[in-house]
Structure 1
Amino acid sequence: MTQESRAEPSSTGPDGDIADFVDLLRCPVCGESLTFDEPGRRLFCPLRHSFDIAKQRYVSLLDGRSGSLKSDTADMVSARLRVHDAGVLDPVVNAVAEAAAARSTQARSVHTGSPVIVDLGAGPGHYLSAALGSVEHARGVGVDLSKYCARALTRRVPGAGAVVADVWRDLPFVDACADVVLSVFAPRNVDETARILRDGGRWIIVTPQPDHLAELIEPMSMLSVSADKSDAVSAAVGRRFETVEQTVVRERRDVTASTIADLVSMGPTAFHRDRDEIEGAAHTFAPGSTTTPVTVAVTVTVCQASVDR
C-alpha cells in the first residue's frame, strides 16, 4: 500500500498539510483511526496498515480493491486547468461557492469547531477552493482517484488536504465529520456520503443539464452520461436526503478552438481519442481565430442529511 515518493517531515507542517486533517481520516482497510509515524512520513492505524505521504503532500488511501479503474491522466488535468483558467466554467464555480456560503453560518464540525468541506471527485480543486473561500475558517479535503488531480490540488488550493481514493468504495473518513460535501460532475456515493455528513449537513451536487456543452457533443464526438443512470442515482439520493434547494445555472460562453479541444480532452472522451485528433476536429468546427458560443448548463442541488437516516 505504499506510494511513489515519501515526503520530508515538512510535509506535515502548518501550511494546510496532512496534519491539519488527519483527525478526519480512517484506515481504508480496517476503519481504524490514522496517525503519523515518528518521522511524519507516513500514516498508520493501530493494526499497522500504513500509507506513505507523497512528496507532493497528498496521501493515497486506496484499499487495493478498485481494480483497473481509469482516472484522469496528467494531460486531462492540464486541459481542465486551462479550461478553468479561461473562465469557461466560472458560472458553475460561483454557484458552488454561493451554495456553500449559504451553509457557512451554521456549519460547525463536531471534531474541531471549524466547518469541514469534503469534495468527492475533486479534480484539481477549483470547486473546493471556491467553497473554502466562501466559508470562514473552513477546512477542506479533496478526494480523487487520480494522483495527478491530487498533485494539482495541493498546488492550487493552499490549506486544503488531498487524498487519493475511490469514491465508489467506503470513504476513508470517520463518521459525521463533514458539514458540507461536494459532488461536482462526479460519482455520487449516497450511503457513504450520508455516513460522513453530520446531522443537518449539506450535500451540494452539480449535474449537467441536457444542453450542457450541447453544441460540441455531435461535432466533437463527445461521450454523454446515460439518463437512466442519472435517474437511478437521483432516486437513491431522495431516499436518504431531503432536497432543500435546486437551481439551474445556464450561460453562453464564447470559446476558441483550443479551448474546445481542452473541453473535450478533460473528460472521458480523451480515453478514446488522442489529442491531435481532438485538436483537428476542434479547428474544423471553429476555424481560425474566431470564437464559438457554447452553453454551460447545470443543475445545482442542495440536499440535507435527515436526522433519522
Structure 2
Amino acid sequence: MSCDRLLSVLTCPLCPSALEHTAGALRCASRHTFDIARHGYVSLLTGHRRAPSADSPGMVRSRAAFLNAGHYDPLARTLARLASDLAPPDGTVLDAGAGTGHYLAAVLDALPEAHGLGLDSSAAALRVAARAHARAKAAGWDVWRPWPVRTGCADLVLNVFAPRNGPEFHRVLGPDGTLLVVTPTDRHLRELRGPVGLLAVDPRKEERLRRSLDALFRLDRTEPLEYAMRLTADDVAGLVGMGPTAHHLTTAHLRDRVDRLGEPVPVTASFAVSVYRPVRAGQ
C-alpha cells in the first residue's frame, strides 16, 4: 500500500483525525505521533502494552515456517478465489488479526490493483506482515478496540483464526463490502489432541460466530474445506507452536510428545470459510 493509500485508510487513534506522513512517523494535526518501525510497520499502540493474546516471537517463527511449507495453501487459494469474486480488483482489503500477512498476501495476488492493511497487536508478527506483499502495509493495533480506520473505507475484511469485532467489521466496510471469516471445525487437527495435548475446538464455535454477527451481517454462504496432511515431526512441532497450545506447553515437553508420534503424521485440516454481507439500515 502506498503511503497516500495508507493515509486514506488510517486515522489518529487518539483524536481521531487525519494522519500525515513525516520523517519516520505518522502525525495528526494535534501532533500525536506514531513511529514507523525500521521493519516497515507503524505502531499505533503507543503507550499501551502488548495484548495478552498477541503472538510471541517463537509463535511467529513457528507460524511462518509452517505456512511457508505450504500446508495451508488450500486455504489461501480458497480465500484468493473468493476474494477475486467478491472484491474489486483495485479495492482496499483489511486483515483483522493479520499475523504474518500470509493470507492477506494471497488475496492481494488475486486482486491485481488492490491494496491491503493488516492489523495485529504482535510486533513480531508485524515485522513479517510489513514485508508480506508489495501492496500491503501493517499497523500495530488491538482489534478488540475501536479501529483507527476510516468508516466505509474497505471493500473486503479478512478474519482468519482471529478475534471478531463485529461492530468494527460493519463500520469499516463500504456499502458493497464483504466480510470473509475462517474458523476451524471440530475436526481440525483432531489427531493431535490426545497425543500432543492440542486444545480442542469448541464444537459451538461456529454457532457463537453467527450469533456475534447476526445483528449486523447476513450470512451469504459457508464453504467447507477439509483435506489430509502428512506432516513431519518438525511440522507438527511448528503447527502446535504457532497456536494457543503454545502458551500451555514448554518447548521440551512439546518436543518429547511430538517425537513419540513417528513420521509421517496424518493430520486433518478442516475449516469453515464464511462469506458475510453487512446489513444496512432499511434492509
TM-score, normalised by the number of residues in structure 1: 0.86
Aligned to 2:34: 51
Match of 1:22?
Answer: 7
Deviations 1:106-151 (A, max 9, x none): x37xxxxx30000011111110011101112000111111011111
Match of 1:192 among 157, 168, 172: 168
| Aligned mates of 2:251, 2:3 — CA distance in 1 | 35
1:88 and 2:61 equivalent?
no
User: What is the Cα deviation at residue 229 of structure 1?
Assistant: 5.8
Q: Specify whether residues 18 and 227 from structure 1 end up closer, same or farther in structure 2 by C-alpha distance, changes over 3 A only.
A: farther
- The structural deviation recorded for 1:228 is 5.1
| Alpha-carbon distance in structure 2 between the residues aligned to 1:68 and 1:155 | 22
- Find out whether 1:222 has 2:195 as its counterpart: no
CA contact (8 A) 1:139 1:160 kept: yes
Given candidates 295, 299, 306, the residue that maps to 2:268 is: 295
Rounded to whole Å, the distance in 1 between the matches of 2:6 and 2:141 is 15
Structure 2 length normalisation: TM-score? 0.94
Structure 2 distance, partners of 1:233, 1:294, is: 25
Percent identity, please.
34
Secondary structure of the corresponding residue to residue 116 of structure 2: strand
Choose from 262, 269, 278 the match for 2:245. 269
Give the structure 1 partner of residue 228 of structure 2: 252
Equivalent residues in 2 for 1:230-245 (5 A)? 231-245=207-221
Distance apart, 1:17 and its partner CA: 5.2
Secondary structure of the 1:155 match is coil
1:163–1:306 Cα change, 3 Å: same
Cα deviation code 1:41-75 (max 9, x no counterpart):
11111222111110111001126466752311111
- With 223-232 and 206-215 compared, the bigger mean Cα shift is at 223-232
> Is the counterpart of residue 305 in structure 1 residue 278 in structure 2?
yes
Residues in 1 aligned to 2:16 and 2:207: alpha-carbon distance in whole angstroms: 31
1:17/1:57 contact within 8 Å kept: no
Q: Deviations over 1:179-211 (max 9, x none)?
A: 000000111100001000001200000000100
1:103 aligns with 2:76: no
Contact 2:40 2:131 in 1 (8 A): no
- 2:17 corresponds to: 32
After TM superposition, the structure 1 = structure 2 runs for residues 90-239 of structure 1, keeping only pairs within 5 Å, are 90-104=73-87, 107=88, 114-227=90-203, 231-239=207-215
Unaligned regions of 5+ residues in structure 1, if any? Answer: 1-15, 109-113
RMSD: 1.8
Q: Which runs of 5+ in 2 are unaligned?
A: none
CA contact (8 A) 2:185 2:203 kept: no
One-letter identity of the residue aligned with 1:178 = A
Provide the rounded CA distance (Å) in 2 between the counterparts of 1:30 and 1:251.
47
Measure the CA separation in 2 of the matches of 1:76 and 1:233.
25
SS in 1 for 2:215: helix
Cα distance in 2 for residues equivalent to 1:129 and 1:247: 21
How many residue pairs get aligned? The number is 282
For the residue of structure 1 that corresponds to 2:30, the secondary structure is coil
